[in-house]
Each structure stands twice: as structure tokens, then as C-alpha cells.
Amino acid sequence: MKVTELITVTALTAVMSGPALSQQQSNLHRYVSFFKYSSAAMKAMTETPQDRSVGARQLAEGVGGKVDSIYFLPLGGEYDGFVISDLPDELAAGATYMTTQATGNFERLQAMPLMNAEQFKAVMEKAKQVKGGYSPPTGTTTPAR
């Protein structure tokens, strides 16, 4: 199993065991953001140890969201950690991504929306509704207009 797959499974397990009902009631959308610190950031953190969760929480709150949890992966690899947050919308998610990326302290950032089982079932139902009007590139028929 690749490190990315293991991290994703760990993140999804944490999300699914979390408070799914509060997410539905608050109209916030859940995201997972994976990060890899730059060498300069790692050097600074080892010279001056600090609680990095404070900055992440402030950033999420600044766009009207909240951090659910933060996990660090101290043995290195593809990512150094991930944040699970509840944000109002894609604009807020984009703003947190851009703000974080602009610091130059990260080699890599990847943010993805998360869904609970009920939300994912709704996606499957929607896909079932629209698939009849879609013709794949390898299809031999042209979709009706």
C-alpha cells in the first residue's frame, strides 16, 4: 500500500468516526488538506519548537470555519501531516489554500473535499440520473441534443 493511500485511509477513518451530524447541521463542508513542509520550515521548527495547530485553527476561523483535527506524520514520507477542517464553501477552502501556499513554507499542499457515507450515496444517485445523457469518448453513439 502506498503512503498516500495509507494517509487517505487514516484521514477518512478519522472523518467517518467524527461527528457527521454536526457537519450536516452546520452547513459547513469538510475538507482534508495534506501538507509537506519545506526544508527551511523544518529547520525553523526544530530550532524553535512550537504548536503549529494554533496557526491552522486561526486560519480556518478567519474564513468562518474550524479545524476538526490535525495529524502529523513525524517519520517523513510524501506528506508531513494533514488537517481535517470544516469550511463554509469552496471560496473559503481556496483562500486557506492560497494563504498557506503563499508563505513559501510548504513544498506540497493538496486539499480535497470529504463526504460521509450519506453524502456519497447522494452522489451515486445523481450519477445514476445523469449517466443516460453521457456518451464517453470511446462510445459509438452521439448524445442527443
pLDDT one-digit tens code per residue, 86-135: 999 999 999 999 999 999 999 999 999 999 999 999 999 999 998 877 88
Residues pairing with 36 in the sheet: 108
pLDDT at residue number 132: 79
The mean pLDDT value for 27-48 works out to 96
> Could you tell me which residues are beta bridge partners of residue 31?
85, 113
Residue 111's nearest CA partner among 91, 82, 141 is 82
User: Could you give the CA distance from residue 98 to residue 93 in angstroms, rounded to a whole number?
Assistant: 9
Cα(71)–Cα(84) distance, integer angstroms:
9
- Decide: 86 and 29 in contact? Cβ < 8 Å: yes
Tell me the pLDDT band of 20, cut-offs 50, 70 and 90. very low
